Structure 1
Amino acid sequence: MTTPPPEATLVVDGPEFLADPHTHYDRMRRETPIRVGRISVLPGQDIHFLARYADCVALTTDTRFRRALPDGAPQPLPEALRLLAVDSMILKDDPEHRRLRRLVSRPFTPQAVGRLAERVQEVTGALLDGFLPGRPVDLQQAYALPIPVTVISEMVGLAPDERTTFHEGMRLLVGGLATLGMDEAVRRMEELTGFVRGLVARRRRAPGEDIMSGLVQASDDGEALTDDEVVAMVFLLVAAGYETTYNLIGNGVVALLGHPDQLARLHRDPELIDGAVEEILRWTGTIGGTKPTYAHEDVDWHGVRIPRGAMMMPLLASANRDPAVFDRPDEFDITRSPNPHIAFSKGAHFCLGASLARMEARIAIGNLVARFPGLRLAVDPAALRTLPSPLMLRLDGLPVVPG
């Protein structure tokens, strides 16, 4: 076995990488399909990144790799951070992960998702009613963001006077540690934890038709979710469903506006919206990677020794442009078929909210381009800026002109 060749340290959220990630992905797939690198939010931590589609899929089903550290006792953490960083379902392994997923899947019935789809239709209609042809608007803030905010609020069953508090909590969960510092973020997260515990207690006393009521009532063979598990699931819904979805909507609009031939196809045949969303998921790289996994034994992968305890991460955005799987991988084609992208990962940790994200993007983008067929960017495409975020494509505003 060998070690990776000496190269400059790959930092996947560094300015050089973010300036042109797909050039790095292409080189990795061809030359170093497994590459040791770093993420700035985990200083000093080496990560083995996988770039090829087949390797990324294999990692999701390889039992030698798990979400928990081998023999690692969890660090003592404040309660709010424990619920987010340790107790979250996506950080659990089987059989605990299987138990949690079985229970939390129960409230996501077709009827519940259908009610949410009706609300997304209502919300998008009301938001689009407020747009004036020819008047610029920041689509991220005025359209893409309110949609998942509304969906999550409906899922949790918030009263109108509770939404401001919860929405502030959403922003805290997504960016609090980076913007506030540890002490202040923990203080505010403890307040949010208390608020969500109050919601859980209320749903146990008087359940409704919302998803949280389904979570507190879910049971299987006498097993049910604890209050801690429900709170952790709410945090996961926010962290995964809030930012990912509004970025998907914004990135999808940019992709379509940047490919007028594909947008014209969608105008001619609105039924292509499903394929358009799948291609947006594949092509944009909105979700660039998954949570890390750890080797539970020494592994030889492509001749590289992966020592026990090493951190592994599949680069989904790279896998979704792999020419070994996708014909013309760098072309944006809303009629692409088949389109076996892995934007929501694969295996046991396939994203539980994938159907919700698809539904929101389908309705939001479909209604927008139908209402304003002359929609255009308000700035030169080169002027669009992204935020430095580890393995996630996040626009820093999306100025457009409805038309």
Structure 2
Amino acid sequence: MSTPTTPVPEAPFTIGAPEFAADPLSHYAWLREHAPLARTRLEYGPVSQPIWVLSRYRDCRAMLTDPRLPRSPVGGSAMTAGLPEHLRLLSTESLIMKDEPEHKRLRTLVSKPFTPKMTAKLGERVRELAVERLDALADHDVVDLRQDFALPIPYTVIADMVGVGETDRSRFRSGVTALLSDRGAEDWDTQVRDLVAFTRDLVARKHADPGDDILTGLIHAEEDGDRLSEDEIVSMVFTLVVAGYETTYNLITNAVVTLLDHPEQRDRLQQAPDDDALWRSAIEEIVRYAGPVGGTKPATAAEDIDWDGRTIPAGASVLPLLGSANRDPEAFDAPDRFDITRSPNHHLGFGYGPHFCLGANLARLEARIAVQVLLTRRPRLSLAVPRDELTLETMPLWTRYDELPVRLG
């Protein structure tokens, strides 16, 4: 006779619905207390799907290393064999959707070009771009910091990393913008197909004429005679765009909002512009407290799983709520307090385990340098609108501001 399990409760709200988006922290607190494993729905525009969610830190961390909860859907590539090329490269070919041992193979190869020398070069480029952007805005009193400062820096860094020349930047930007936009947009397929074609052409050009860039490094990366295929390289460019661009400009924006909300913490940073350890600690706390990503890609239960006396059925989509885990009082002292000196700070803002965010170090680097330059050169920076007029994009489990009007001072 099988041992009966406790029924899994259903949350009285939908992830991504307006009432959830208006106050996610209260909903996270309810889940942690009443239903740490819960059934609900994930809503994005017209799409709504059943989802199982974990909200406590220890559960989210455990899930992210549990082999019973793979990223690839049950059935694997057979389920997506008929997908168009651009959708295949974004799904089954993506590093984000791979499981072991294929994930480890790809990650090992992809890490080859990210040498300390290359990282130092990227840091210098970020500082140069931050200064350039502020110089370009010198005659402006009020600007949209998201659009005019936070967004151009990581976009240019990614274009540099991929080795996109000046004459191709407009086309690349159009494709990147489409890639990160709503897939329901009228020209989404056309734009992303064009980005695939452009990237394949760029790979061919880098084969013939190698450059000092990450794309050339990916082409020549080798481990025990193994190399990335062209499909894997193209898919990896897409992954770098998402991990190194989308996350980063939102992190920069969120950092500025958070520091303006906490002037005493901001003052402490401004008084220590050369305290590298303090700045690094501040960025980690910003990721924990106001990170842009509140959840990972859902995993799929490969079998019935006993989770603390409750059963997650085979085939269920399971989502760790990282934004909730990072506010769990069992894992963090006074989790609702923003403290740039918090230590230890083992947040899950970039995930955990084998799928720890590929672009985490780049995002940290860019956010730290960009905000450091901004606060050093514009110490009287302030909001240009009342705080309650700042609005968030309607993206479930993302904290992304529509715009950030500021007075540069």
Scaled by the length of structure 1, what TM-score is found?
0.96
Structure 2 counterpart of 1:283: 289
Which residue is 2:227 aligned to?
224
| Residues paired across the two proteins, number | 399
**Bigger shift: residues 261-270 or 191-200:** 261-270
Cα distance in 1, alignment partners of residues 48 and 179 from structure 2: 24
Counterpart amino acid of 2:102? E
Report if aligned partners of 2:9, 2:39 keep a CA contact under 8 Å in 1: no
Q: 2:272 aligns with which of 269, 281, 286?
A: 269
The amino acid that maps onto 2:314 is R
Task: Give, in whole Å, the separation in 1 of the partners of 2:116 and 2:201.
Answer: 27
Counterpart residue number, 1:69? 73
Residue of structure 1 aligned with 2:117, choices 103, 111, 118: 111
Q: Quote the Cα distance in structure 2 between the aligned partners of 1:358 and 1:237.
A: 14
CA deviations on 1:62-99 (whole Å, 9 max, x unpaired) are: 11110112234222211011101221001000111111
Decide whether the 8 Å contact of 1:67 with 1:92 is kept in 2: yes
**Deviation string, structure 1 residues 236-274 (Cα, Å, up to 9, x no partner):** 111222211100000000000000111111112222211
**CA shift in 2, pair 1:71/1:81, >3 Å:** closer
How far apart, CA to CA, are the structure 2 residues paired with 1:374 and 1:153?
A: 31
Instruction: Give me the whole-angstrom Cα distance separating, in 1, the residues matched to 2:370 and 2:291.
Output: 19
CA distance in 2, matches of 1:280, 1:178: 32
Equivalences for 1:188-203 in 2 at 5 Å? 188-203=191-206
Match of 2:20 in 1: 17
Moved more, 44-53 or 350-359: 44-53
> Any conservation in 1 of the 2:11–2:39 contact (CA below 8 Å)?
no
Which residue of structure 1 lines up, in the alignment, with residue 392 of structure 2?
386
Please list, as runs of the form range in 1=range in 2, the aligned pairs for 1:110-259 lying within 5 A after superposition: 110-132=116-138, 135-180=141-186, 184-259=187-262
Q: How far has the Cα of 1:189 moved from its partner?
A: 1.5
Distance in 1, Cα, partners of 2:159 & 2:114: 15
Match of 1:335 in 2: 341
Give the counterpart letter for 1:256 in structure 2.
L
SS at match of 2:242: helix
Q: CA deviation at 1:300?
A: 1.6
| Cα distance in structure 2, aligned partners of 1:368 and 1:267 | 10
Q: Secondary structure at the match of 1:308?
A: coil
Q: Within 5 A, what are the aligned runs for 1:82-121?
A: 82-121=88-127
Per-residue CA deviations over 1:218-253 (Å, capped at 9, x if unaligned) read: 111111001000000001111222211100000000
Instruction: Confirm or deny: 8 A CA contact 2:269 2:279 kept in the other structure.
Output: yes
Q: Secondary structure at the match of 1:313?
A: strand
SS at match of 1:281: helix
| 1:81-136 CA distance string (max 9 Å, x none) | 11012210010001111110010110111111111111111100111112337711
Cα distance per residue 1:175-216 (max 9 Å; x no partner): 141333xxx322222111111000011111111110000000
* Alignment counterpart, residue 301 of structure 2, candidates 295, 305, 308: 295
Task: Work out whether residues 114 and 214 of structure 2, in 8 Å CA contact, stay in contact via their aligned partners in 1.
Answer: yes
Aligned-partner SS, 1:65: coil
Amino acid across the alignment from 1:121: R
- Would the alpha carbon gap of residues 81 and 229 (structure 1) be closer, same or farther in structure 2, given more than 3 Å must change? same
In the TM superposition, residue 21 of structure 1 has moved relative to its aligned partner by 0.3
SS at match of 2:181: helix
Q: What do the CA deviations read for 1:289-343 (whole angstroms, capped 9, x no partner)? A: 0111111110121332111111111111111111001111001111111111111
What's the CA shift for 1:7?
A: 4.5
Q: CA RMSD in A?
A: 1.4
Q: Distance in 2 between matches of 1:151 and 1:11?
A: 37
Gaps of 5+ in 1: none
From 50, 53, 58, the counterpart of 2:54: 50
- Tell me the residue number matched to 1:27: 30
Task: Name stretches of at least 5 consecutive residues in structure 2 with no aligned partner.
Answer: none
Structure 1 residue 40 displacement after superposition: 2.2
Does the Cα contact within 8 Å between 2:72 and 2:92 map onto a contact in 1?
no
Q: Percent identity?
A: 50
Q: Distance between the aligned counterparts of 1:370 and 1:25, measured in 2?
A: 36
Paired AA for residue 344 in structure 2:
P
CA deviation digits over 1:150-190, x for unaligned, max 9?
1100110011010010011111110141333xxx3222221
Note if contact 1:170-1:242 (Cα within 8 Å) is conserved in structure 2. no
Give, in angstroms, the shift of residue 6 of structure 1: 4.6
Farther off after superposition, 132-141 or 17-26: 132-141
Judge conservation of contact 1:387–1:394 (CA < 8 Å) in 2.
Answer: yes
Q: Normalized against structure 2, the TM-score is what?
A: 0.95
Runs of 4 or more above 6 Å deviation: none
- 3-state SS of the aligned residue for 2:79? coil
Counterpart position of 1:5: 9
